[in-house]
Amino acid sequence: MKIAVAGKGGAGKTTVSGTVARALARAGHSVLALDADANPMLGVSLGVGPERTELLLGVRQGVEAGEIEHEPTVEGMVERFGADAPDGVRLVVANRIETENPGCQCCGVSPDQLLRELEDGGRTVICDLEAGLGTVLRLAPGNADVVLVVANPTAKALEVARRAVAIAADKTEVIVLANRVRDDADLDAIAAAIPDRELIVIPEDATIARADRDGLAPIDLDPYSPGVQALVALADRLAGAPVPA
Amino acid sequence: MVGKGGAGKSVISGTMARVLARDGSRVLALDSDLLPGLSLSLGAGPDPAQPPLREAAEKDEDGRWRLKKGIGPVRAVRRYATDAPDGIRLLSCGKTPREGLEPIMGSVNAFYRVVHRLEGARTFDDWALVGDLPAGPRQVAFGWAPYAETFVAVVQPTAQSALAARRVVRVARMREGARAVFVANRVTGPADVRHVEELVGESVLAAVPADEGVARAERLGIAPIDHAPGSPAVAEIERLVAALAGG
């Protein structure tokens, strides 16, 4: 199964991606976490830590540095340039922008290409997309089995979420997450902007706020906090089928 | 204005622009994000009579985008920028439509070419230019803000926000003559400011407090300076404007 996570910057995409990845892995699934943001942060939410996240090599940069002749297959790239995260999650950073004039972003290895070419082969791929709508617009049917759209109760985040739902729903299954919900008024605001859809509620959670502050994985800080529990339940629902033996 | 998504770039740039305009500067606000943001924080409504910026661009015989003949930065701002409160002019690079990216390519290309010619236009010498860039280092790396003398990196007191700000400041400082500063946002006290300063490795130029008035404005989609004009956050952004003007 391939899961892509979309939404406005700061809506909680990376927290959702990292926590769902860890929960799936703890339930016995083989998980590949693909960081498709040119400002890669998924390592932090997976529990790798900010310092190690900063040292992770982007596949694109790895291939371009090219000490080996060429890594021809996506699986080879995952093997060669990926890193191990807790609970056996394999983390792959697609691309990072670290210099002026970093070269054409369409050429070379792109996040879209990695997502497209990764076979799931019994594995669950969860992809943290770049903030905004670019990758959702380029998503072709079949590139992801489900898109999780993360919505917050602010006017700007709702506008991005609303458009992401409209774009993605033409191509694949969409699940809307109402994130950082404090009360009924927050939920009503999200429901009004994105009507006629089931909303998975992720409550505002002090554990997640503390994990964000300190650069930790929420699931390591408190796996039983309400926000983390909502994401664990989401992971169970996404997994659906029983765990392969 | 640069930083991680959700850090508060639009709120701070929109409010800064309004403060500058009220202080008597002519202000050009530049929104280079394909997603909604700056117009809400500025308090600028849509103007249906406004011709779209994509009309400023055309493709040459090789299929490359260029500005149409006779359209320079001054005319582009006169014709395609919208009016925002306090006399501000707002030029936006175009908003992502549902149908795909192609319909806005003209607008995006016109915007890119206009911002590259602002510096050469004497008209704007005494204007204040405030640009709101999308999340992440992409536009800084690719030169979308060539007008910028100062990059302001907005940082919330979280590890990821600080990591994002450090990365984008590193890229910004590769540019000859560009200055980059950190501004803490949504801090709840001195401990948060220290946390941000430890995470980014230097002191911040300003620390905008977490503010219920601004949070409410964000939920409602209106300008913080209209909704909560006397709030501590707006006051700190006024101090930030003064600090930036002081060099």
pLDDT of residue B229: 96
What domains appear along chain A, each with residue ranges and CATH number?
Answer: 2-239 (3.40.50.300)
Gap between the Cα atoms of A37 and A95, Å rounded: 7
CB A60 within 8 A of CB A95: yes
B141 and A167 within 8 Å at the Cβ level: the answer is: no
Mean pLDDT of the B49-62 span = 90
pLDDT at A109: 75
DSSP symbols for A221-240? H-TTSHHHHHHHHHHHHHH-
Q: Does residue B246 surpass a pLDDT of 90?
A: no
Count other C-beta atoms under 10 Å from residue A142's C-beta.
10
Encoded tokens for A13: 């995409």
Angle, helices B73-80/B105-117, rounded to nearest 10 degrees = 130
pTM of the model: 0.92
Instruction: Please classify residue B131 by burial: count the beta carbons closer than 10 Å to its beta carbon, then call 0-12 exposed, 13-18 middle and 19+ buried.
Output: buried
- The domain limits of chain B are 2-245
pLDDT at A243: 46
- % of residues, chain B, pLDDT over 90: 82
HSE toward the beta carbon, residue B90, CA cutoff 13 A? 28
What dihedral angle (degrees, nearest 10) is formed by the CA atoms of B237, B241, B243, B245?
180
Number of H helices, E strands in chain A: 12, 8
Give per-residue pLDDT as tens, B194-205: 999 999 999 999
- Cα B121 to Cα A177: distance, rounded to the nearest angstrom: 47
CA distance A149 to A7: 6
Rounded Cα gap, residues B172 and B186, in angstroms: 23
Selected for mutation to probe chain A from B4, B219, B220, B226 (highest A CB count within 10 Å) is B219
Give the residue with greater pLDDT, B87 vs A100: B87
- Residue B121 region by backbone torsions, left for phi larger than 0, else alpha for psi between -120 and 50, else beta: beta
Q: Which residues contact B149 (CB under 8 A, 6 or more apart)?
A: B177, B178, B179
pLDDT score for A244: 45
Of A98, A157, A189, the CB nearest to B171: A98
What does the longest C-alpha to C-alpha distance in chain B come to? 59
User: Which of B36, B157, B163 lies at the smallest CB-CB distance from A54?
Assistant: B163
> End-to-end CA distance of chain B, in Å?
16
Mutate which: A39, A133, A187, vs B, most B CBs within 10 A: A39
Q: Quote the DSSP letter at residue B102.
A: G
- B183 pLDDT above the threshold of 80: yes
pLDDT of res. A238:
95
CB-based contact B155:B165 (threshold 8 Å): yes
What is the distance between the alpha carbons of residues B216 and B211, in angstroms, rounded to a whole number?
A: 9
C-alpha distance from B243 to closest chain A C-alpha (Å): 27
The pLDDT value recorded for residue A222 is 98
- Which residues of A fall within a CB distance of 8 Å from B135? 9-10, 39, 131-132
User: If you ran DSSP here, which 8-state letter would residue A58 be given?
Assistant: B
- Angle between the N-to-C axes of helices A226-239 and A206-214, in degrees from 0 to 180, rounded to the nearest 10: 90
> CA-to-CA distance for A24 and B241, rounded, in angstroms?
47
Average pLDDT, chain B: 93
Place of tokens 């190690």: A52
Three-state DSSP state, A185: helix
Per the CB < 8 A criterion, the answer to whether B46 and B73 are in contact is no
B178: helix, strand or coil: coil
Residue B92, pLDDT > 50, answer yes
Contact B138 A134 (CB under 8 A): no
A39 interaction partners in chain B (CB closer than 8 Å): 4, 135-138, 164, 167-168
Q: Which CATH architecture has domain B2-245?
A: 3-Layer(aba) Sandwich (3.40)
Report in angstroms the alpha-carbon separations of B119 from B73, B92, B126, B154. Answer: 9, 18, 11, 25
Residues 135-154 of B with CB under 8 A from A: 135-138, 140-143
Q: In what order do the strands lie in the sheet with B179-187?
A: B2-3, B150-155, B179-187, B206-209
* pLDDT tens by residue, B214-245: 999 999 999 999 999 999 999 999 999 999 98
Tens digit of each residue's pLDDT, chain A (245 residues) = 999 999 999 999 999 999 999 999 999 999 999 999 989 999 999 999 999 999 988 888 887 776 655 667 888 888 888 999 999 999 999 988 888 888 776 666 778 888 888 877 789 999 999 888 888 888 888 889 999 999 999 999 999 999 999 999 989 999 999 999 999 999 999 999 999 999 999 999 999 999 999 999 999 999 999 999 999 999 999 998 544 44
pLDDT at A245: 43
What's the rounded Cα separation, in Å, for the pair A14 and A190?
20
